[in-house]
Every structure is written in C-alpha cells, then in structure tokens.
Amino acid sequence: MALGLVLIFEGIFPLALPEVWKDTFSKMVKFKTGQIRFYGLLSILIGIIIIFIGK
C-alpha cells in the first residue's frame, strides 16, 4: 500500500510538469554525493515523522 502511494506521488510531478521535472533532475545529477545523501537522509527523517504523526 505504501509503495503504491510513493509511486503515485513520484509520478504526479513528471506527468503534470515534464519540462520542469527534466530541468530539476538535470540539476540533481550535478550534486555531490554528500549532498545527495543528505537529501536522502532528510527524506527518510521527514517520512518517519509523518508516520509517527499519522499514528
């Protein structure tokens, strides 16, 4: 169920605004590895907070 929701949310942005998505993705590719890891960690922490608030 959760994986389905993630895929829906991941698909909304490229479906609605494909050019903006391409520009954003090309900028993300230029990030350093540490920056990508930081945003990954930040996403995990925000997800955990949302799960705990939802309970």
What pLDDT was estimated at residue 23?
93
Pick the more confident residue, 55 or 33. 33
Average pLDDT over residues 46-53: 90
Nearest CA-CA partner of 5 in 55, 49, 47: 47
Burial 26-48 (b: 16+ CB within 10 A, else e): eeeeeeeeeeeeeeeeeeeeeee
- Residue in this structure with the two tokens 């998505």, named with its chain if needed: 21
With bands split at pLDDT 50, 70 and 90, how would you rate the model's confidence at 3? confident
* Residue range 10-44, pLDDT digits in tens: 899 899 999 999 998 899 889 999 999 999 999 99
Structure tokens belonging to residue 38: 């930081």
Average pLDDT over residues 1-18: 89
